[in-house]
Amino acid sequence: MNRPEVEFWFEFASTYSYPSAMRIAEAAAARQVTVRWRPFLLGPIFAGLGWSTSPFLLQQAKGRYMWHDVGRTCARLGLAFHRPAIFPQHTVLAARLALVGADAAWGPAFVRGVFAANFADGADISDRGVLGAALERAGADATSCLEAAGRADIKQGLRDQGAEAERLGIFGAPSFIAAGDLYWGHDRMIEALEHAARSATGRGPP
């Protein structure tokens, strides 16, 4: 039987995507599940709801809770976390680069590097210098990747990815697709991985 797969839909501006991005590779490997890394932008989905920005800014109480909760979640996971001065960040270039690397060996390390730059280091992840450094640290060639990210097919590819997210019923990040089922939120990452593993082996209830 094929190795089970989980699609990991993430947005670089999304606070709860950070712990998932940092931990999904090892959690998936432990369950013999392959991760398919799928960057997308939440902005167009929020705009479709009539929202001009993150719901964490539009709803102040929810925003206050979120910063506290993400902080304690990262502490529990042993992940560095500092509330960034810029929120939400502009992530279109970072997402295009993640799409360039979607099937490359450097892809996951680049994604982790950008998330850490945003939520541990407080860097501006719309900055080409910051992104170039993350590419090089992940083992990619920054110049050619940044050039590729400006190509029409990559720009269109990211728009297509967003349209696919909407078709899949995705409305927030992180989201996971496991054996056709949608799971929303970092809290559901393990459940999604276990659902994928179980569905592939045919063991136990769905």
Instruction: List contacts with a copy of itself (CB under 8 A).
Output: 49, 58-59, 61-62, 64-65, 68-69, 72, 166, 169-172, 181-185, 187-188
Nearer to a copy of itself, 59 or 144 (CB): 59
Nearer to a copy of itself, 45 or 135 (CB): 45
Joined tokens for residue 66:
């979120």
Task: Write the burial class of residue 193 (CB in 10 Å: 0-12 exposed, 13-18 middle, 19+ buried).
Answer: buried
CB of 27 to a copy of itself, least distance (A): 17
Nearer to a copy of itself, 139 or 204 (CB): 204
CB of 177 to a copy of itself, least distance (A): 12
CA torsion angle 105 107 113 117 (round to 10): 160
- Quote the CA–CA distance of 22 and 125 in Å, as a whole number: 17
Q: Where are the beta strands (DSSP E) in 87-180?
A: 175-178
Nearer to a copy of itself, 145 or 177 (CB): 177
CB of 42 to a copy of itself, least distance (A): 12
CA 1 to each of CA 130, 153, 201: distance values in angstroms, whole numbers, following the listed order? 42, 34, 8
CB of 79 to a copy of itself, least distance (A): 15
